[in-house]
Structure 1
Amino acid sequence: MSETFLIRGARTAGGDTVDLVVAGGVIEAVGAGLSRAGATVIDAAGLLALPGLVDLHVHLREPGYEASETVLTGSRAAAAGGFTTVFAMPNTQPVADTAGVVEQELALGEAAGYAHVQPIGAVTVGQKGERLAELGAMASSRARVRVFSDDGSCVADPLIMRRALEYVKAFDGVVAQHAQDPRLTEGAQMNEGRVSAELGLAGWPAVAEESIIARDVLLAEHVGSRLHVCHLSTAGSVDIVRWAKKRGVDVTAEVTPHHLLLTEELVRGYDARYKVNPPLRRDEDVQAVREGLADGTIDIVATDHAPHPAETKSCEWPAAAHGMVGLESALRVVQQAVVDTGMLTWDDVARVMSRTPARIGRLATAGTPLEAGAPASLTLYDPAPVRAFTADDLHGRSGNSPYLGRELPGQVRWTLYRGVPTVWDAAVLDIPGAHA
């Protein structure tokens, strides 16, 4: 397929209708009535042109847990969802707590060719919360790590968290915290409240999240360092982050698509596809996080894409694994939850799903505007169709999506990563040279 493309009649997030010429991996020109001899023409009439989406919170499972996902299959799923950059969480085996492991992840992403895979380094050795990992070595490695997280393991020790914030400040890094007090959530199975009491399941109190966020924004303020709050899920958490930002604390926060749309009521059927960490919350929390995203308190949407083998979900609720896959459905869910409801514009979507996550991750080559000279990483999206989300929409190794059978708007029609098509007219392409 030609490496030069003429995209005709696309609508930008700002509402303009433009043509784009893509050549040599960059956007060569943007304007009206463009032509380019020998270019492959993409008819984008009625399609929305967005900068390639950036996901700051993805689990690719490789190395160590390839039964759930690999870098190749996960980045294929990312391309199907319109993503051209994903930040890979460190809960692999071995844990991504050394320069060697993060460089391995980077190389696997380069070999796959579907998206830029940017490793996230662990905060502590083995994610055990006892002593700091090789933060400086990972930061100075070829992977140039700037985001550090112990992912599903909260950095619960306040002294370790303070030291991590102090350390990453030296190279403009950020600690991304999984806000979950471990003592307050021992044995927890779902959100604590009326529904958990009726079902007889151990509750997961909102304060377990909120107390860690409150502690950490004060630590970040004291140190003068950057803090990022992963998958914020409660109304109280929104209030705390809003308060911290008014004080001038350098804190950012993310919300997942599922916390923008789904509630704890879905747990009543004991379908483990709805078991996730943090848990699905009350309708009041869903409304609060939507409002927090709309007013800028919450900075970005991140999927927390968490693939699992079928047997770890097709079992009784207490034994089931936490997590949902979300890359392929994210843009469609965001459209349903906050665009079609009038809370966000498409330019807001470009900000919270591309520009700002790239900025938080300090990745200058991602989330760039669709303008001449920029890398040609972009998504052409059709917001018009409404159809059920099915297993055919999934392109990773696992099928634990909470949206199977649910009507969702929109469809990713084309994804270009650095000028190379990865999705062509809604079909995910095979990339020459990509390997599992």
Structure 2
Amino acid sequence: MTDFDLVVRSQRAITPDGERPAAIAVRDGRIAEVAGYDAPLRAEREEDLGRLALLPGLVDTHVHVNEPGRTEWEGFASATRAAAAGGVTTIIDMPLNSLPPTTTADALEIKRKAAAGQVRVDVGFWGGAVPGNRAVLRPLHDAGVFGFKAFLIDSGVPEFPPLTPGELSEAFREVDALFLVHAEDPDEVGDHASSASYADFVASRPRSAENTAIARVIAAARRTGARAHILHLSSSEAVPLIAAARAEGVRITAETCPHYLALTAEEVPDGATQFKCCPPIRDAANRDALWAALADGVIDLIVSDHSPCTPELKRADTGDFAAAWGGIASLQLGLPIIWTQARQRGHSLSDVVRWMAANPASLAGLDAKGRLAAGADADLVVFDPDSTQRVDVARLQHRNPVSPYHDRVLTGVVLGSWLRGAPTVGEPAGRLLTRGTR
């Protein structure tokens, strides 16, 4: 007679109390007990990882899956396969660039039907706030989206237009929900003429565009009492604005992404459009300031902003940054990218788990995700923090082999993952999550 379905032992388990030797006992897909490493636990299956690290499954709340409609860019099968390979066991899909975008309850149902039976990790959905759909925000929220994404600047696709600052405030007042905002001010973004110069591209999207837009989001959240979240923070100059707003009680949080924490403008060759994203990768001093903001807790979390496209749309043939699609695919690589940088800066695996698992789960209200604790889902990741890997885009699980990380040597290798106690390499067993899911 066994007490548990699975016991996983590790001398380096990353728990909410820090890194320690532990045995994680799993029953019916949940963590039933977190015991000492040598605890006499009886289970049908047992894994002893020794000095390999055991992490909770990462939670990535910023993923563009693009299915249906632009499945040639990415799809639920390939995106969730890449997520599982990278130690990400929960993703929340952005309302664009799929067709239709998730801006109505009917569109949400279309997306859920497209995802059904394909997902290897758990998947939730954000809704979209666009001009003209204010009246359907509440029904869409009631249908289970985790909150709403809005742009203050052109999104890059015509079916998902931006809100004016006034329309953003109206949306904030319409429904008590989490609003995620792509904050760049269109009046401060220059006309970027055709150019292969990365310096020209960065100059066209200055820090001031982010700073101004973030100040407007803060002002709207202050007036309305809404809960607002700044997406993919790139400008370190906006950090004091966020810190000050939070200190006065404004409900504001912020994220940044692996590319802003690992890459620098100085290293981007002209014509290397695989580095293009919006807002752009900035200079090394800016990167260091973002790391400081993470350490101080002003930036709450790290997510991928996985925004892939077909190779043709990256315009490698011309190297034209103005014409290339702006987005970086890194869903499978986020953990080693961040660990490579974090350990060099004196951060621990516990810090990385807080930024990439616990805090994203908290943002989305996923109480059962992102932690090795009794009652949580048994989403587990085996990670070798000391081994290295050389990135080969041809071996990634993303649908299209385009990445600025190609041929880079990263520290840390994901060796396996479990979703609710079952290996993610079997048949797709992910669930479609709705807001309020435990």
Separation in 2 of the partners of 1:93 and 1:308?
14
Structure 1 distance, partners of 2:358, 2:427, is: 26
Residue identity matched to 2:175: V
**Which ranges in structure 2 are unaligned for 5 or more consecutive residues?**
156-160, 431-438
Identity of aligned residues (%): 32
| Aligned position for 1:105 | 111
Shift of 1:100: 2.2
Q: Cα deviation per residue 1:387-412 (whole Å; 9 max; x = unaligned)?
A: 21112551121222211100100011
Counterpart residue number, 1:352: 355
Matched, 1:96 2:102: yes
One-letter identity of the residue aligned with 2:300: D
Q: Is the 8 A contact 1:190 1:202 kept in 2?
A: no
CA positional deviation for 1:385? 0.5
The residue that corresponds to 1:298 in the other structure is 299
User: Partner of 2:158 in structure 1?
Assistant: none
- Deviation of 1:15 after TM superposition, in Å, equals 1.9
Match of 2:45 in 1: 40
User: 1:25-424 counterparts in 2 under 5 A?
Assistant: 25-32=29-36, 33-35=38-40, 39-91=44-96, 92-124=98-130, 129-132=131-134, 134-141=136-143, 144-150=144-150, 153=155, 155-169=162-176, 173-188=177-192, 196=199, 203-313=204-314, 314-316=316-318, 317=320, 318-342=322-346, 344-367=347-370, 369-422=371-424
Q: Which residue of 2 aligns with 1:431?
A: 427
1:397 and 1:24 map into 2 onto residues whose CA distance is 33
Decide whether the 8 Å contact of 1:238 with 1:292 is kept in 2. Answer: yes
Specify the code of the residue in structure 2 equivalent to 1:357. P
For residues 21-66 of structure 1, the C-alpha deviation after alignment (integer angstroms, 9 at most, x for no partner) is 2232112332132455562332311122222111111000011101
- Say whether the 8 Å CA contact 2:76–2:119 is kept in structure 1: no
SS in structure 1 at match of 2:55: strand
- 1:79 alignment partner, SS class: helix
Q: Which residue of 1 aligns with 2:435?
A: none
Tell which deviates more after alignment, 106-115 or 310-319: 106-115
For the residues of structure 1 that align with 2:146 and 2:313, how far apart are their CA atoms? Answer: 32
Aligned counterparts of 1:330 and 1:363: Cα–Cα separation in 2: 20
Label 1:43 to 1:223 Cα distance change in 2 as closer, same or farther (>3 A). Answer: same
Secondary structure of 1:5 counterpart: strand
Per-residue deviation at 1:188? 3.4
Distance 1:182 1:315, change over 3 A: farther
Contact 2:258 2:337 in 1 (8 A): yes
Cα displacement (A) at 1:99: 1.2
Q: Which residue of 2 aligns with 1:24?
A: 28
Given that 2:29 and 2:378 are in contact with CA atoms closer than 8 Å, whether structure 1 keeps it comes out as yes
Contact 2:393 2:402 in 1 (8 A): no
CA contact (8 A) 1:22 1:29 kept: yes
Kindly tell me: are residues 188 and 279 of structure 1, through their superposed partners in 2, closer, same or farther at Cα, counting changes over 3 Å?
farther
Shift of 1:114: 1.4
In structure 1, runs of 5+ residues without a counterpart are 423-428
The count of aligned residue pairs is 412
Is the CA contact (8 Å cut-off) linking 1:106 and 1:117 kept in structure 2? no
TM-score computed with the length of structure 1 as normaliser: 0.88
Deviations 1:271-305 (A, max 9, x none): 11111111111112101111111100000001000
Please list every run of at least 4 consecutive aligned residues from structure 1 whose deviation after the TM superposition is greater than 6 angstroms.
Answer: none
Q: Deviation per CA, 1:40-96, whole angstroms, max 9, x where unpaired?
A: 332311122222111111000011101011112111111111111111011111111
Please tell me whether the aligned partners of residues 11 and 51 of structure 2 are also in contact (alpha carbons under 8 angstroms). yes
1:247-284 superposed Cα distances (whole Å, 9 cap, x missing partner): 22110000000000111123333111111111111112
Does structure 2 conserve the Cα–Cα contact (< 8 Å) formed by 1:190 and 1:279? no
Equivalent residue for 2:434?
A: none
